Structure 1
């Protein structure tokens, strides 16, 4: 597959951005704004610090199919920082300013793209940030610069290690698994937004190039030579291969929380994962909100409820060669999720007779559900109103909760319902 889609030269024609790339940028903007709002927890807070690494930054400016000029990911990131700061000041009605200590590191192996980006940054009013070092540009492969970038994050944030890596690679082999592991091993609070063109990979893999793929990516053992041998492939081989790749990527990275949604691509460009890897469930919840907001462009293939993301599979046909149903993140999917959770929650609580804290209940399932915390809370409150379950305080007393749950509220099946589920 091609290594790059775009070319830049200052004063020349801008490259045309693909529609699904515009959607990715829009999701990135929304995610960053909401993410910053979660970092500012108090009107008395004076500073937040974050390093953002755009590992495949491009030239900073594109033209859409309609002929409209649109920003690339570095400008989107900077605009999101400005928007978040304005919203913090307004929503918290601050009199005192808050310092957004954000450094943006932009990396691209194309020197002409980096030079074009620097010109765009000057043109868009970010020249002073370039000269002060708040924005840094590097020419080279992300993988080759990863160690130095991690060291810079640790220098800036030795205690929190807070950083966001935007890794919009063009294929599937430019961010090897050892590099992801290095990020999560070296830093305390990293996040990674990673694209992975799984459709292109499955079209490329063969018995002959499997070992080369493993050397390039570090994803050894995820795919076997038998999987690639057309003589032995069953109709479900894509299910098996994608499931193994997904598990290897997510658990192998060292991240505790992950969100594997598929971007619905432009025609002819294949399916790819948009993986969000993090160390905190709140970050995952913010990303899930962003996906629901952009539901016209994101899908996942599987059932609703708490068992959706066990494989990360998105082949277009199932074992019986029928179109696989897509979870569309729309109103129908929302209603389906609520119905599924209202059925599954009592079944889970039937195995936890002593009850379970609401936060623990959600966090235990956050990696395998499309639902946000607010959606799970809605399902729980509906079951409370229907007298299926009850809510206890931390002292064991019954709480009459109607509108909102607290993290330490204990969810427990009502006694009569418990007897019915156990068949007593």
Structure 2
């Protein structure tokens, strides 16, 4: 993995392709983050804390161009939001940020300080911008106390950007504490999943380096057993994803790959939160940058599932492009019907509860679920009813509506649990769908939880 070095009086290091990719994802996420949080016209103040636990020197080279690293990007995102959000707003909104930038490399922190001063931020140092030379784990308790002092009712709106090198520098216990202490807390974690899988062995050092992840010896031995089996790497990735979610207590997780070209290995950009809309905003960002991020599969309810007979080498790479979108809608329609039938039988389920139960299993956005549900209703395979159980003549379910299998549905299930349609194939392309109601335009159905 890249080992960036900053030294006073010298040009910044050259950015790696995957570092540039991560920065693009973060910038786009922050733009949508502010837009979504401030959608309420009555809001007049937003307090938020940004933490970069591995800040580096704050700037890179991309050929002849200088590129802002995470610390400068976070500062710039706040400035951009202040300008854009107040255009045409009857009641101006004030953004009240705090920034904590840490790195164990003193020269990197000194370099960052110089860049902040060069950008005219000297007056902010020690006030809203705090620099620390040290380890994130050591500094976290003080940062937590500062967030607690700025919040009410445990909201603690904050984003922790933890761009670790490798996979052992961030204890899952800290992420668990962030998400349990603050309902508005989020974590964006870099996780070198392919490096971890390659490192697995029965040597003592393999066990010694994993306590931060809370992966026990039995789990390591199971990973080692699977490592050389058909589809083993694929399954280990899914087991690791489940472990990270369970160990951190995150309700929602989105782990998608960014390929590290210099090592021909893949990094996870893992977004962890307790808010479904926050996850949806992050997933929408991956769709924004087509052919940028990827995951193995076809886009259905598959991230948590695994077929032991499946050859992972034969799985398509899902690159969030137009072709993948079409395939995903077809696959998602089948999987949604199968899940409702298998898990809920004839009992309807609240649409919002169904979405929450499957959000972590797919790269689909909420708008994709809405489009698929609209099509299934149009083809009378899904029915919508009110919370009182009365049939609704609506094209698309609302949050409080109930959804269930329509009586006319004629799917039969084979041993491999794949549905076989006995009537003409439904069309998920809305250019040819019978419904005249257009799908929702925004990928973010509603706001982050209002605490």
TM-score by length of 1: 0.89
Superposition pairs of residues 311-322 of structure 1, within 5 angstroms = 322=313
Q: Which residue in 1 is equivalent to 2:58?
A: 60
Partner of 1:204 in structure 2? 199
Larger CA deviation: 68-77 vs 178-187: 178-187
- Structure 2 partner of 1:245: 240
Matches within 5 A, 1:9-408: 9-64=7-62, 66-90=63-87, 93-131=88-126, 133-159=127-153, 160-208=155-203, 209-221=205-217, 223-225=219-221, 227-228=223-224, 233-310=228-305, 322-350=313-341, 351-402=344-395, 405-408=397-400
Stretch deviating more after TM superposition (136-145 or 195-204): 195-204
Q: Decide whether the 8 Å contact of 2:257 with 2:268 is kept in 1.
A: yes
Task: Choose 404-413 or 165-174, whichever is displaced more.
Answer: 404-413
Q: Deviation string for 1:81-115 (max 9, x for gaps)?
A: 2222333223xx21332110111111111111111
Q: Distance in 1 between matches of 2:77 and 2:52?
A: 14
Give the root-mean-square deviation of aligned CA atoms.
2.6
1:246-276 CA deviation, whole Å, 9 max, x = no partner? 2221111111110111112224252111111
With normalisation by structure 2, the TM-score equals: 0.84
Q: What 5-or-longer segments of structure 1 have no aligned partner? A: none
- After TM superposition, give the deviation of residue 119 of structure 1 in Å: 1.3
Contact map agreement 2:298 2:327 (CA 8 A) in 1: no
Once the two structures are superposed, what CA deviation does each residue of 1:337-393 show, in whole Å capped at 9, x if it has no partner? 111122223333333423222211211100101100000000011112222222223
1:266-305 per-position Cα deviation (integer Å, ceiling 9, x unaligned): 2425211111110111111111001111232211012321
1:191 CA drift (Å): 0.8
C-alpha displacement of 1:52: 1.0
Q: Is the 8 A contact 1:223 1:244 kept in 2?
A: no
Residues 54 and 102 in structure 2, CA contact (< 8 A), matched pair in contact too: yes
- Are the equivalent residues in 2 in contact too, given 1:356–1:412 (CA < 8 A)? yes
CA distance in 1, matches of 2:260, 2:247: 26
Distance 2:313 2:236 in 1: 19
Deviates more, 1:350-359 or 1:366-375: 350-359
Is the CA contact 2:231–2:312 (under 8 Å) kept in the aligned structure 1? no
Deviation at 1:202, TM superposition (A): 2.3
Do 2:188 and 2:271's aligned partners in 1 also have CA atoms closer than 8 Å? Answer: yes
Contiguous gaps of at least 5 residues in structure 2 = 414-418, 421-451
What secondary structure sits across from 2:404 in the alignment?
strand
1:40/1:270 Cα in 2 relative to 1: closer, same or farther (>3 Å)?
same
How far residue 420 of structure 1 moved from its aligned partner, in angstroms, is 7.2
1:184 offset after TM fit, Å?
2.4
CA distance in 2, matches of 1:57, 1:166: 9
Given that 1:302 and 1:327 are in contact with CA atoms closer than 8 Å, whether structure 2 keeps it comes out as: yes
Take 2:175 and 2:111, find their aligned partners in 1: how far apart are those partners?
Answer: 28
